[in-house]
Chain A
Amino acid sequence: DTAVSQTPKYLVTQMGNDKSIKCEQNLGHDTMYWYKQDSKKFLKIMFSYNNKELIINETVPNRFSPKSPDKAHLNLHINSLELGDSAVYFCASVAGPVGTQYFGPGTRLLVL
Chain B
Amino acid sequence: DQQVKQNSPSLSVQEGRISILNCDYTNSMFDYFLWYKKYPAEGPTFLISISSIKDKNEDGRFTVFLNKSAKHLSLHIVPSQPGDSAVYFCAASDRGSQGNLIFGKGTKLSVKP
Contact = CB atoms under 8 A, between A and B. Distances in A.
A105 B43 contact: yes
Interface residues of A, number: 26
Interface in A36-81: 40-45, 48, 50, 55-56
A59 B100 CA distance: 14
A104 B46 contact: no
B103 interface: yes
Q: How large is the interface on B (under 10, 10 to 19, 20 to 34, 35 or more residues)?
A: 20 to 34
Interface in B60-113: 89, 93, 95, 98-103, 105-106
Interface of B: 32, 34, 36, 41-46, 49, 89, 93, 95, 98-103, 105-106
Interface of A: 4, 31, 40-45, 48, 50, 55-56, 90, 92, 94, 96-106
